[in-house]
Amino acid sequence: MEPTQEAGVRLEHISITGFRSIESLEHLKIGAPTLLTGHNDAGKSASLDAVRFLLNAYPSNDRDRTYLSEEDASPNENEAGKESSVRPTNRVPLTCVEGQFLLDAEEQVELSLPATIQIRRRFQTDGPAVYERFCEVPLDSRLRAFSTLKVDGLKDLVAELGLDPEGKTKPFLLKSLETAAELAEKLWQWEPVPASLVKALPKVLSFDQAGQNDAEQTIKAALQAAYEAHAGQPDLKGKLGTLEVELQEKLAKDAAQIRQHIMDRCTDIGQVTIVPEVSFTSGLKATQVSVTAREGEGVRLGEAGAGRARRVALAVWEYTRGLLAGPGVGNVVLLYDEPDTHLDYAHQRDLMRLFREQCELPNIQMVIATHSMNLIDGVDISDVVHVRHEGHRTVIDRLADESDVGRHLGSVAASLGLRNTVLLHERLFVGVEGVSEQGAFPVLFKLSMGRHLESCGIALWACRNNEGATDFAKFLVQHDREVAFVIDADSKTAGKNALSDKRLEAKGLDPNKHALYIGNPKEFEDIFSDAQWANVANSKWPRADERPWVEKDISVLRKSRKFSDELLSMFKTESLSGPMRKQQLTMEMAMSLTTPEDVPEDLRAVFDELLSRAA
């Protein structure tokens, strides 16, 4: 879902250079939401911290700089992760996170900036982190930073440049220089960012769920959001004498509401006490949290079970939705690091609902690092970024993009019944012609190979003679996924069939590589013997005249143009319980076989090839 644009500065995407395991990562979309998935230590948490660093919510340190080589770095770290005598040359000289931001009309006027801007934050070994904006500036450096000059300095600069202002006061001098800057020859480069622009960047709320103490931190984060919202309201601005007292009172009300919400959601907790302390100079100074069990026994959140602590945190997350929607909050990027850990399935569903509600707010963007199949399968594939290591460096995979084509392919995948987790992790994608093969293949594969398709990393889908299926296969191949089609032999030369050789070649697919043909001689139903069809018919679809089916009843149909059509018609018309669809034919056949040898040899050969490709 795409929320309505909120006023203010909004982060669209980031690029990361030299940040921990991320040597170079381009165009990581910050969506509503964006899900980061992948194996442990692949760079998901580093990506979240990179967002925090860009938005001035993470203090950089030397250990954030990427090692120049893993081999050089590894001897310099002991088992506790502490560095010993690390040479500066072992790490990259520059760490940088760059973001593309969108400004609403009001911010464009207030900050004198265009609608789209590029801002980066970088730090090096020998200096603090600095903000810069990529912009067009006058080639003459004297016309770039004159606004801070005093009148005498402005007069000297005007005279030096040979300008003729309309007056000698500061406004006239500045106007003359601004006009000269607009008309001057330009170049693009990184320039320092004023403090007003840094202040206008989106806020960050981080929910790191690594330990059991997270519930207390979550409560503090929620109250911090409330503090910033209250502090931004017009009725409090300028009241320096009474501001601290008023904020203390307002936060006490927020704390009471959070307390009640926790008690409503976590019925095994008796009482909750939350006491926020405010310092005007440093914001939310501290948050004292204590809990008692229903039996009256005191329970500290840090000592409670992981499940209880997580459920308390979930209740607080629910409460923050109201805070985030309040006035004065501005744009906020929510960062969640494995938020579903220790939650049972019911509470995972609650968490998914909460994420949807938060993302519906126009001022919210969200990045979630997760392993949860429920979360990954609960969003559009275009919102999922797969993070992995390649040569000890973080790289990302996307299986859809923001274009119409990418969204269409995501819809095709959904229509084919392929979940996001399947698209991300399976090793081989096998397209079959229709629902008959889709239903029978898993049964026949298990009987023949002794293993389930899924356990072999094989994902099966029915193409249904759909052009979209071949588009999707082409897309998978372009993203380095293994793809195969199991096609009826008579489709090979059928011009109107989406899986014919010519149609596959037109989509950039190689029939010799991507297609496996079955059918003796034409189609899937052909490969089963006359005796097998007679046996299953006698068991499932006895003749109305009570005569048993015999092999000759089947063999005479093989001379027809379409064996499967004639077979279905015969069983349907000559049996009172005959099948109504081809899918019933093939499923009953598959279920009737009992040994691997019963599976036709041609099909077993195809299964052997699929297993080899998925290995």
Per residue in 25-62, pLDDT tens? 889 999 999 999 888 878 898 999 999 999 998 888 88
Place 570 in a pLDDT band, splitting at 50, 70 and 90: very high
Give the sign of the dihedral formed by CA 418, CA 39, CA 428, CA 608. negative
Residue 38 forms part of a structural domain: no
Residue 216 forms part of a structural domain: yes
What is the DSSP-derived secondary structure letter of residue 33?
Answer: S
In residues, how long is the chain? 615
Range of the domain at 217: 206-329
Which residue in 579, 304, 327 sits closest to 439, CA to CA? Answer: 579
Who has greater pLDDT, 284 or 127? 127
Asked whether the beta carbons of 170 and 151 are under 8 A apart, the reply is: yes
Which residue in 30, 175, 183 sits closest to 97, CA to CA? Answer: 30
Mean pLDDT along residues 463-474 = 77
| Beta strand extents in 511-567 (DSSP E only) | 515-518
The per-residue pLDDT of the chain, averaged, comes to 81
| Statement to judge: residues 211 and 321 lie in one domain | yes
Residue 280 forms part of a structural domain: yes
pLDDT of 411: 65
Strand partners, 208: 337
Residue 295 forms part of a structural domain: yes
Determine the residue type at 436. S
Asked whether the beta carbons of 327 and 353 are under 8 A apart, the reply is: no
SS3 575: strand
The number of folded domains in the chain is 3
Question: What's CA 295's distance to the chain center, in Å?
Answer: 42
Residue 49 forms part of a structural domain: no
Cis status of the peptide bond prior to 138, with omega within 30 of 0: no
Per residue in 224-275, pLDDT tens? 777 766 666 666 555 544 677 777 788 888 888 888 888 777 776 667 777 7
Q: Which residues contact 531 (CB under 8 A, 6 or more apart)?
A: 551
SS3 403: coil
Mean pLDDT along residues 416-424 = 72
pLDDT of 68: 79
| Statement to judge: residues 325 and 249 lie in one domain | yes
Per residue in 380-401, pLDDT tens? 777 888 888 777 778 777 766 5
| Beta strand extents in 457-600 (DSSP E only) | 458-462, 482-488, 515-518
pLDDT of 81: 40
Q: Quickly tell me which residue has 């019933």 as its tokens.
A: 584
Determine the residue type at 311. R
CA pair distance 254, 323, nearest whole angstrom: 9
Which CA distances in Å does 547 have to 555, 584, 586?
17, 22, 23
| Statement to judge: residues 302 and 245 lie in one domain | yes
pTM: 0.71
Per residue in 334-373, pLDDT tens? 999 888 777 777 777 888 888 888 898 889 999 999 888 8
| Statement to judge: residues 156 and 253 lie in one domain | no
Which residue in 482, 438, 443 sits closest to 463, CA to CA? Answer: 438
Residue 574 forms part of a structural domain: yes
Token pair of 291, please? 């809990």
